[in-house]
Structures are given as C-alpha cells and as structure tokens.
Amino acid sequence: MIDLTSKVVLITGGSRGIGAATAILFAKAGADVAITYQGSDAKAEEVVNEIKKLGKKGSAYKGDNSKNDVVKSIVHDVHKEFGRIDILVNNAGIWTYGEVDTMKESVWDHTMDINLKGTFLFCHYVIPIMKKQGGGSIINLSSTAGQRGEAFHSHYAASKGGVISFTKSLSTELGQFNIRVNSVAPGWVDTDMSAEALNEPAYRQQVLRTIPLGKIPTGSDIAGPILFLASDLASHITGEILNVNGGSVLVG
C-alpha cells in the first residue's frame, strides 16, 4: 500500500540499529536511499548493498553530523547525486550514562551536539531543497526520555526533549510549504546502542516489566511507523509525537 517509488530519503545514522532497518524498509517501499554514518565503513556498505539488492539506488556518506560544514557538504552531495530529497529521517543519536553531579561538561555538550544540533543542521540544509520541490516530510527520532525524563541520563533526556519541541515548532513554521514534520519516540530498543544494558538478564527483566506489551522491540519495529509518517497515508499529520514504545511511556 505504501509506494515511495521516485522518492529519495536521507537517513542519518543509517548504518546500524533503527537507521539501518529504516533504510532497508524504505528501499522495499520503492525509495532510493542515502544514509549517513560515523562508525564502521563495513556496516554502512552492508546496508547500501542491501538497498541495491532491492533494485534501488543507495549511497553512504561518512561524517560528523554535529559539524556545520560536514552536514552542508553531505546534503549538497546527496542532492547532487540523487537530484532531490523528499524525506529526511533524523535518526543519528547517542545514549550514555551520566550522574549530573559528576558528568563532565564535554559529555553534556557532545550529547547535545549529536542528538539536537545535528537534527537542526540537517533540517537547516534540507528544508530549502524541500521548499523548492514544493514539499517534503521530516521525521525526527526522539524518545520516551524526552517526554518524562530519565534518571542518570539527564543529558540524553534534555536533548530529546529539545527534539520534541523543535519538531512541534517546525511543523507550524513549515506547514505553509507543504512540509510535514513529525517525531517517532521509541523507548527501549534491542540495538547495539543498548546492548550493554540489555544483555544483563536481571536488568532486561526489569525493563520488560515497564513495557505493557511485554517485549523489547527491534529496529524494524520502529522503522514501520517512520515509514508510515513519511507516506501519503499520513498526509494530514504534522507536529505529531508518535510513541512507539509498547506503552512504556505511560507506566515506566
């Protein structure tokens, strides 16, 4: 039912976890896919190869999404290679432990740079392209933590709370240009980012008790709602914070 043939999607942090699952799902729906990444070249290449196996165009761009000149260059290169950018998925993010009274300022700053500033920068450079094209769709990844807070992760929660407010602000600012801006808010997700915590059996059981649906989702469980928000099925949805966390935001 969702057909994104002729559409181009740019996904930040697309080499692993939610980003990789989203990239592959968008290709299955017919889109050409550009991903950004900072880590493993091999993992990024794996995702691009999967996209190409599905008969779609795929490319990976390496760079720090918190650096203005890097993001500007990536967006320019994607636009030049693909000819357009219809959908932007701001997925790149980091999550680290930190007690507020011992947290180094550099840890706080790095989290804000990657999670919040990076989202701003990609929007800053992609939105003019979408305006010229007559519209587009932006999906920003936030979190349950950004809505209710999270002990020992105040820097992460604050950054994701910022993403939520940024999303709502842009939705009202850009509606006149036919650009929809929404957010998907996962809770715990079984990815390599959370592996250290979730691989501890007792802690995993503790987490499961906070999820009414009784399971920890995979990246693919988050990718589906992202695809929905990017599609015409969601053509009258903007400014929405879509909780995809098994109900944990209500009870965790």
CATH class of 8-190+219-246: alpha beta
pLDDT of 251 strictly over 80: no
pTM: 0.95
For the chain, strand residue ranges (E) read 8-11, 32-37, 58-62, 87-90, 136-141, 179-186, 241-244
pLDDT tens digits, 53-91: 999 999 999 999 999 999 999 999 999 999 999 999 999
Any catalytic annotation for residue 156? yes
**Catalytic pick among 61, 97, 156, 203:** 156
Q: What is the DSSP string of 88-147?
A: EEE-------B-TTT--HHHHHHHHIIIIIHHHHHHHHHHHHHHHHT-EEEEEE--SHHH
Q: Where are the domains of the chain?
A: 8-190+219-246
Which residues, 6 or more positions from 55, have their beta carbon under 8 angstroms from its beta carbon?
A: none
CA 135 to each of CA 16, 157, 174: distance values in angstroms, whole numbers, following the listed order: 28, 30, 9
pLDDT tens digits, 208-225: 888 899 998 899 999 999
Find, among 24, 22, 82, the residue nearest to 50 by Cα.
Answer: 24
